[in-house]
Structure formats: structure tokens, C-alpha cells
Structure 1
């Protein structure tokens, strides 16, 4: 990993540690809840994404370095809060998807941040239980 990549990762995660506790309390903020792979406790992460039919799509800015992606690999059962309502589902990492093209179809504000700070984009699809 390059020094610049590591610096971007550390800067973004430091910022997210401070802002995420505030964001996840906002009632209309989309939140992904995974199960901590070590603690077994629920872990909530504010995300930007979009529901398309019975799936919810998002792009991880740091790929498999993201804690929530590591949690998904350990246990793909997740919950997603969309517009204030919780939905259960199964998350899938989609490495063959084009994450840059996917970002064009997701909320613009989040996409700008992911593109600006992201170093290893990875698409995630959550198949929602109906």
C-alpha cells in the first residue's frame, strides 16, 4: 500500500469515527447494521446507497479494509435502515461489479465522498427479505 493511500485511509477513518455517532442518530440517515466479528455486538455504520427493488446497493470506499465489509465476510446477515425503517437481509460482496459506474446510480453527495477518499472501491449488495 502506498503512503498516500494509507494517509487517505487514516484521515477518512479518523473523520468517520467522529461523525458516524452523530449521523447514525439522524432518523432519515441510511444505516447498515452488521454483527461485530469479534464482539458479536451490533455495529451500525451510516452509509449512502439506494434501494433498487428488493436489493440495497452501496459502495465501500476502502473495500475489504472497511470494518463493516470484514463483518459481512464473517456474517452476511445484516439490517439496513432506509428512510427510518429497518429491513433485514443478506449482504453480498460484488467484486465483479464496476463500483465507479455503480456510484453514478447512487446518491450524489455520498458518491463524491467515496470517490474523493476511496482507495479500493467495492460494491456491496444487500438482498432484502420481503
Structure 2
């Protein structure tokens, strides 16, 4: 990985670690809950995305380097809290999807942040259980 991307990744993750601690506590913020690949414990990550029918779409700013994406690879069963309500589902990495085009369909503020700080964008689709 090029040094500039590595520096960006380290800076962003240090900032997000602090921000996410606050965002997880907000009652209506969207959360993605994965199972920790090593610990087996639930891991909650604030995400920006949108529900479309029985799917929830989001874009990871650091692709397969993101911890929640690594957790998805180990166990794709997840939960998503949308508008304060939890939904179970199965997450799928979508490497063939155009993440920049996908961001245009997702909430504007989060999409702008992902484009600004992201280095290796990856689309994730969660098929929600009905």
C-alpha cells in the first residue's frame, strides 16, 4: 500500500475511533453490528447508508482494510439499526459495484465525507431478513 494511503488510513482511523464512540450513543444514528472475528463479541460501527427495499447499502471508505469489513468476511451475519430499530441480515461485499456512483444514491453528508477521506472504496450490501 502506498505511504500516502497508509498515512491517511492511520489519521482517519485515529479520528474515527474517537468520533465513533460518541456516534454509537446517538439513538437514531445508523449502526452496523458485526461479530468480532477474533473476540466473537458484537462490534457496533456508525455508518451512513440507505435502505432500498429489503437491502441496506453502504460504502466502506477503506474497503477490505476496514475492521467491520474484515468482520463481515469472517461472519457475514450482521444487524443494522435504522431509525432506532434493529434488523438482522447478511452482508455481501460488492467489489464489482461502482462505489462512487453508489455514493450518489446515499445520504449526501456521509457520502461527501467518504469521498473526501476514502482511499479504497468498497460497496457493501446487507440483505435484510423479512
**TM-score bucket (shorter structure):** over 0.9
Moved over 3 A (4+): none
User: Which TM-score applies when normalising by structure 2?
Assistant: 0.99
For 2:102, the equivalent position in structure 1 comes to 102
> Is 2:85 the counterpart of 1:75?
no
Structure 2 residue runs of 5 or longer lacking an equivalent are: none
Whole-Å separation in 1 of the counterparts to 2:109 and 2:24:
16
For 1:14, the equivalent position in structure 2 comes to 14
For 2:52, the equivalent position in structure 1 comes to 52
Whole-Å separation in 2 of the counterparts to 1:109 and 1:11:
20
CA offsets 1:84-117 (integer angstroms, 9 cap, x no match): 0000000000000000000000001111111111
Whole-Å separation in 2 of the counterparts to 1:70 and 1:81:
20
Pairs aligned (count) = 130
Whole-Å separation in 2 of the counterparts to 1:80 and 1:19:
19
User: Which TM-score applies when normalising by structure 1?
Assistant: 0.99
Structure 1 residue runs of 5 or longer lacking an equivalent are: none
Corresponding residue SS for 1:39: coil
Whole-Å separation in 1 of the counterparts to 2:73 and 2:116:
25
Shift of 1:3: 1.5
CA RMSD of superposed structures (Å): 0.5
Whole-Å separation in 1 of the counterparts to 2:25 and 2:67:
19
Corresponding residue SS for 1:37: coil
